[in-house]
Structure 1
């Protein structure tokens, strides 16, 4: 099966993903970094995490790769240039067939990537292959079934079910967070060299829930998710409109709260 990125690169998706930083998305990794390291950031998207990682390796280098979105990478290059970052490179690349020699990087990192690929075990093998001996493979993925929110609504629950259906029809596994350790062991990584952990994102302030609700309200209608849901019969346009309204309504509630659980692995190669 050829995997397809469920979210796509619509502006609403990139706007949401640009909120991500090294601190809020890979805090579990940061204490393992040292100034001279070379890092590969797989599935870098708009590059905000990638650019942030350069601060932790000022005498090293960070390479960000994205499978096909050259326009997104070009914007990431421009943003890095505007910040005066000169130890960074962006390129097209596929985690299932990394175009780098063995033992190339001190750290190979992927945030919210393995949930979208059809063969996460092969992806982890490739990440381990290009990591230097003694290097680190670091992965973090959300777990959609573990998401929880309040107030509940029929539209939000329907979105949750439909999103998982679409993700699996695209070749991915939306409940990746709980599976990371199992995938790593199947990829041949050693259990005594793996540190498994979890962390959360939680949106609870009025500004946070308004931003999160508005983002998903737009993404439900405009991102690749919508096209896939319609094409494969998981939703009608009326259902998508109802989901979008449910997200917008949720984001306006004074008691709105949303939490996302993430699984995390640090694997020493």
Structure 2
């Protein structure tokens, strides 16, 4: 059911660790109360989960991942920051091991695009959220950058093709509300919005472009792309050089638009 095209290597966790509640879930923050009980699905290294726990300081946050790799880092992050109202465990988004009506909020960020049956997943999320509770989802919808860079065009082509052919749904942010309706949410109960990331300063370009360049050299994405014929090693090296050019260009910027939904049960 999972069709994630990369892994949880250092370059991948580097990008995930940058994500916080403020830069990746601002649309949800006004709805978190001090006593909220929250499920964060696909928590990765825990940076968003730990932020949620600070906002729900008299509540509790549970973060789940389908593989154990990132969870030790998530636990270390919480412990290093003195956040105790959060726990991390293994879990499957398609078959959540929680009773019906358990959580006030169920959150997912950049996960639905990586699974084969997002409607089933949203149905499970709806099951475990309480009546009157919220299922929150945010997925990428579109990417744009300046200046033109054929290597980045090739990067996008490779990653989208891999995602589609493995059964995923690359950049589905523009239609996640449709999946929510199919999962049982009433149309009137779904609030749609957008959010974006922009990487333009030297530090931002180094973070984003540097991480993406590392991914095409050394992550599971690179290994899979070569082994399964999506790209050659030489092509990936060219893509990596393209990201280096992006980082070094003082006029360069990269924008990523997200679609967001809040769905009330």
- Shorter-normalised TM range: over 0.9
Does residue 25 in structure 1 map to residue 21 in structure 2?
Answer: no
Matches of 1:71 and 1:187 in 2, distance apart?
A: 30
Runs of 4+ in 1 over 3 A off after TM superposition: none
Uncovered stretches (5+) of structure 1, i.e. residues with no partner: none
Matches of 2:72 and 2:80 in 1, distance apart?
A: 12
Deviations 1:149-197, CA, capped at 9 Å, x for gaps: 0111111100011110111223211121012011111111111111000
TM-score between both structures, scaled by the size of structure 2: 0.98
RMSD over equivalenced CA pairs, Å: 0.9
Deviations 1:121-163, CA, capped at 9 Å, x for gaps: 00100000000000000000112xx200011111110001111
Partner of 2:119: 121
- In the alignment of these two chains, the number of paired residues is 265
Of the candidates 198, 206, 211, which is equivalent to residue 210 of structure 1? 206
Matches of 1:191 and 1:55 in 2, distance apart?
A: 31
Of the candidates 129, 132, 144, which is equivalent to residue 130 of structure 2? 132
CA contact (8 A) 1:3 1:170 kept: no
Q: What secondary structure sits across from 2:28 in the alignment?
A: helix
Partner of 1:51: 50
Partner of 1:256: 252
TM-score between both structures, scaled by the size of structure 1: 0.96
Q: What secondary structure sits across from 2:27 in the alignment?
A: helix
CA contact (8 A) 1:63 1:88 kept: yes
Uncovered stretches (5+) of structure 2, i.e. residues with no partner: none
Deviations 1:56-106, CA, capped at 9 Å, x for gaps: 1111000000001x2310121122111111101100001011010100000
Partner of 1:161: 157
